[in-house]
């Protein structure tokens, strides 16, 4: 029986799709299971189990210090016109650069593990500049879900995901920024996640969810390399 590891408990949709195809698919996270199947969840440090004979791994490393939106917290706001090497750390987040570098090293360590097939998922962000460009960028609307969410994949031994059902990009929430006066917009699903969640943890979970169509494509297409 081939073993699949999904390193992020929030992506239960992926593990369920793999199990539906007959694979042993487990999630792993520091957080407890919230997907209704604790028997398929390993709570703890992923590096304590990463060498336990997995055939394929799909990793969703935390994007707090890797996303493009976090780049504004790296340096002192008064130093924006200075060369990078002359900029001071941000006064509110003096350790942000170190946090970013450690997050990048975490990703590299996962990628360099002995698992033969690996996909690392993250939004557009700092991995492109601090590590390498992603192998592909996909959207939920390429797999049947009318939603816009740029999803990057860094692949090891796996083929590019092929679109299965191209649909519309979904609704957007638009507003005029009070400071700049510019029209801004967010995907409606993302806006609802920010406005309806009660805690920061809930917002992170909703923002990082894997849409069902993409989960199905991941399980079916990438399981082909295991046959």
- pLDDT tens per residue across span 120-147: 999 999 999 999 999 999 999 999 999 9
Band of residue 10 on the pLDDT scale cut at 50, 70, 90: low
Domains in the chain: boundaries? 3-73+99-169+211-226
Q: Is 214 exposed, middle or buried (0-12, 13-18, 19+ CB in 10 A)?
A: buried
Q: Which residue has the tokens 């700092």?
A: 126
Stated pTM of the model: 0.91
Q: CA distances (Å), 41 to each of 7, 150, 170, in order?
A: 10, 27, 32
Task: Dig out the tokens for 204 from the structure.
Answer: 């992170």
CA atoms within 13 A on the CB side of 91: 4
pLDDT at 42: 93
212 has pLDDT over 60:
yes
Give the whole-angstrom CA distance, residue 24 versus residue 53: 12
9 has pLDDT over 60:
no
Give residue 170's region: left, alpha or beta (phi > 0; psi -120 to 50). left
Over the stretch 150-190, which tens digit does the pLDDT of each residue have? 999 999 999 999 999 999 999 999 998 888 888 889 899 88
**CATH fold of the domain at 3-73+99-169+211-226:** Rossmann fold (3.40.50)
24 has pLDDT over 70:
yes
Task: Dig out the tokens for 227 from the structure.
Answer: 């046959």
What phi and psi values does residue 79 have, to the nearest 5 degrees? -105, 15
pLDDT at 34: 74
List the one residue out of 119, 125, 213 whose CA is nearest residue 170.
213
Give residue 226's region: left, alpha or beta (phi > 0; psi -120 to 50). alpha
């Amino acid at each position: 029986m081939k073993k699949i590891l999904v390193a992020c408990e929030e992506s239960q949709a992926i593990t369920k799709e793999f199990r539906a195809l007959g694979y042993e698919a487990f999630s792993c996270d520091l957080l407890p299971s919230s997907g209704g199947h604790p028997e398929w969840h390993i709570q703890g440090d992923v590096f304590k189990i990463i060498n336990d004979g997995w055939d394929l791994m799909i990793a969703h490393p935390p994007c707090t210090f890797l996303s493009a939106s976090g780049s504004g917290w790296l340096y002192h706001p008064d130093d924006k016109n200075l060369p990078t090497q002359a900029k001071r750390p941000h006064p509110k987040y003096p350790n942000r650069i170190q946090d970013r570098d450690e997050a990048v090293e975490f990703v590299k360590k996962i990628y360099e593990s002995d698992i033969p097939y690996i996909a690392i998922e993250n939004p557009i962000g700092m991995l492109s500049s601090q590590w390498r460009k992603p192998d592909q960028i996909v959207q939920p609307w390429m797999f049947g879900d009318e939603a816009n969410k740029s999803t990057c994949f860094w692949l090891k031994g796996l083929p590019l995901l092929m679109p299965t059902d191209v649909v519309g990009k979904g609704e957007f929430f638009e507003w005029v920024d009070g400071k700049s006066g510019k029209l801004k917009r967010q995907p409606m699903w993302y806006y609802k996640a920010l406005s309806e969640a009660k805690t920061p943890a809930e917002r992170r979970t909703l923002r990082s969810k894997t849409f069902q169509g993409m989960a199905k494509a991941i399980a079916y297409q990438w399981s082909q390399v295991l046959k």
